Amino acid sequence: MDNQDINNDFRRAMVEWSELKDQLKDARKDLKVLNIREKELNLYIKKFMDMKKIDACKVKQNKVSLAKKKSRGGLTKDTVLKGLTGFFEHDNAKAESAMNAILEARTTTERQTLTVSKLKETDDD
């Protein structure tokens, strides 16, 4: 395979990739509208079922159930620092030191990304 073949393969891959990115962008716009509507209906149904004390109902060939569960929030810097402060009996210096040690111990990863930006239209295209 010579240099010209590689350049042509690369050019075809770039054109196909760019077209695919555009198609995916359009599809995501359509899905966004559907997802927004689904969330609105989901919220309405949950509120209605909770208000009327309905725990399950049948729709077509499906059973829709309303369940409640408790979960903990995510680990944020604030929640970790608050927990460390309590653990170290309000010794803020120890809590800060422990927090910094935790943050510094995190591994660093590197990623490569491709971005697409539209070029300005010129007369020679």
Residue-wise pLDDT for 96-121, tens only, equals 999 999 999 989 899 887 777 778 87
d(CA 5, CA 61): 55
Inform me whether the pLDDT recorded for 89 exceeds 80. yes
Ranges of each domain in the chain: 1-67, 70-110
d(CA 19, CA 85): 53
pLDDT band for position 123 (50/70/90)?
low
**How confident is the model over 5-53, as pLDDT tens digits?**
778 899 999 999 999 999 999 999 999 999 999 999 999 999 999 999 9
| b/e 9-20 (16+ beta carbons within 10 angstroms → b) | eeeeeeeeeeee
pTM for the full predicted model: 0.59
- Amino acid at site 123: D
d(CA 18, CA 6): 18
Place of tokens 């149904």: 45
Place of tokens 């690369």: 10
**Closest to 20 measured CA to CA, from 116, 121, 124:** 116
